């Protein structure tokens, strides 16, 4: 009895509230994580998936990865893709936020409608961009031709460099609303008085932006970039539907390569190792997110 009472000490009651959700996630997601880590240290292939002994080969899968050119491409692709997407969707989102924070008549309704791209199933978005970037019937090639920017259709999805560009475009399209709305709200939290006193001091718009807006938005910007990083880094559906990692593996990401190894080539353990590399990178980012959002809280 006494023990139970101690359990109900003020702060520990919180655990009871968190526990059901925590347990649910532990069962459905915790077990897969542990299984995946074990699998990545074994030598599981078609031959010993169901029967036969699974040998522990420790870090061999990971060492093999660093000799694997597709893995290296996937790793650098994932980083390149994530960083480029973040830069573009952040900058465009920022500009739109600045624009829609002016109090003109249509600001609120239009800002609302602009959120739609973020809410569409990714499979559908991928499909739409595949259509837009098609070589012969694609409207993007048509517009470029009409503007005399090109005289021959660009084979967007069948040329390594441009296929990556098309993927980035699709993802930026999804990400712009997310960035816009978060920055937009961040802007409204900046006290108006600061701008007023700045203009009394004779600061111009550029100076105000760099001296007041940016520093005060810092927490928002950090959150936006870190959350954006996590969602972009594990991209799967978009790439799978638009390019399946092609042409010639040039758009493979860690997630799609892991999937291909596990489910198309029967190299289960190697696929797990790729997934763990992805997870390790995201874990580092996740820890920094927790640090950013809980800093300043009394503990």
Binding status of residue 36 toward other proteins by CB under 8 A: yes
Binding status of residue 131 toward other proteins by CB under 8 A: yes
- Show the tokens assigned to 5: 């009472």
Least Å from the CB of residue 116 to other proteins: 6
- Show the tokens assigned to 16: 């009871």
- CA pseudo-torsion sign 233, 236, 237, 242: positive
Binding status of residue 97 toward other proteins by CB under 8 A: no
Whether the Cβ atoms of residue 288 and residue 230 lie closer than 8 Å to each other: no
Least Å from the CB of residue 272 to other proteins: 7
Which of these ranges, 55-63, 80-88, 93-101, 201-209, lies near other proteins under the rule CB under 8 A? 93-101
Binding status of residue 265 toward other proteins by CB under 8 A: yes
Least Å from the CB of residue 280 to other proteins: 10
Helix axes 160-188, 214-233, angle to 10 degrees: 140
Residues 269-288 that bind other proteins (CB under 8 A): 271-272, 275, 278-279, 282-283, 286-287
Residues 169-188 that bind other proteins (CB under 8 A): 173, 176, 178, 181-182, 185-186
Tell me the CA distances in angstroms from 53 to 23, 46, 57, 262, one per residue in order.
Answer: 32, 12, 12, 18
Whether the Cβ atoms of residue 110 and residue 194 lie closer than 8 Å to each other: no
84 contact partners, CB below 8 Å, separation of at least 6: 168
Residues 185-214 that bind other proteins (CB under 8 A): 185-186, 189
Residues 57-86 that bind other proteins (CB under 8 A): none
Least Å from the CB of residue 211 to other proteins: 21
Helix (H), strand (E) at residue 244: none
Three-state secondary-structure class, residue 87: helix
- Pick from 57, 84, 114, 194 the residue near other proteins by CB under 8 A: 114
Least Å from the CB of residue 201 to other proteins: 18
Whether the Cβ atoms of residue 129 and residue 173 lie closer than 8 Å to each other: yes
Binding status of residue 24 toward other proteins by CB under 8 A: yes
Binding status of residue 258 toward other proteins by CB under 8 A: yes
Phi/psi for 175 (5° steps) reads -85, -20
Site size for other proteins (CB under 8 A) = 128
């Amino acid at each position: 009895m006494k023990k139970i009472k101690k359990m109900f000490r003020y702060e520990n009651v919180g655990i009871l509230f968190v526990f059901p959700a925590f347990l649910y996630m532990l069962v459905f997601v915790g077990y897969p994580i542990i299984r995946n880590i074990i699998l990545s240290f074994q030598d599981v292939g078609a031959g010993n998936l169901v029967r036969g002994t699974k040998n522990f080969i420790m870090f061999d899968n990971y060492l093999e990865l660093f000799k694997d050119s597709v893995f290296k491409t996937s790793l650098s692709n994932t980083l390149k893709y994530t960083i480029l997407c973040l830069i573009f969707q952040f900058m465009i989102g920022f500009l739109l936020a600045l624009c829609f924070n002016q109090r003109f008549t249509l600001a609120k309704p239009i800002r609302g409608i602009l959120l739609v791209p973020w809410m569409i199933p990714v499979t559908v978005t991928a499909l739409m961009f595949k259509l837009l970037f098609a070589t012969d019937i694609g409207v993007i090639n048509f517009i470029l031709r009409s503007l005399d920017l090109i005289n021959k259709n660009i084979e967007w999805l069948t040329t390594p460099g441009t296929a990556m560009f098309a993927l980035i475009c699709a993802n930026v399209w999804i990400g712009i609303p997310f960035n816009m709305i978060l920055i937009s709200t961040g802007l409204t939290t900046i006290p108006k008085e600061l701008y007023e006193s700045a203009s009394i001091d004779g600061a111009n718009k550029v100076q105000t932006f760099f001296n007041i807006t940016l520093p005060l938005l810092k927490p928002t910007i950090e959150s936006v970039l870190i959350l954006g990083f996590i969602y972009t880094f594990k991209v799967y559906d978009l790439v799978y539907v638009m390019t399946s990692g092609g042409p010639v593996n040039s758009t493979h990401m860690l997630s799609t390569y892991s999937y291909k190894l596990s489910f198309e080539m029967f190299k289960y353990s190697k696929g797990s190792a790729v997934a763990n590399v992805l997870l390790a990178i995201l874990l580092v980012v996740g820890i920094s997110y927790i640090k950013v959002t809980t800093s300043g809280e009394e503990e």
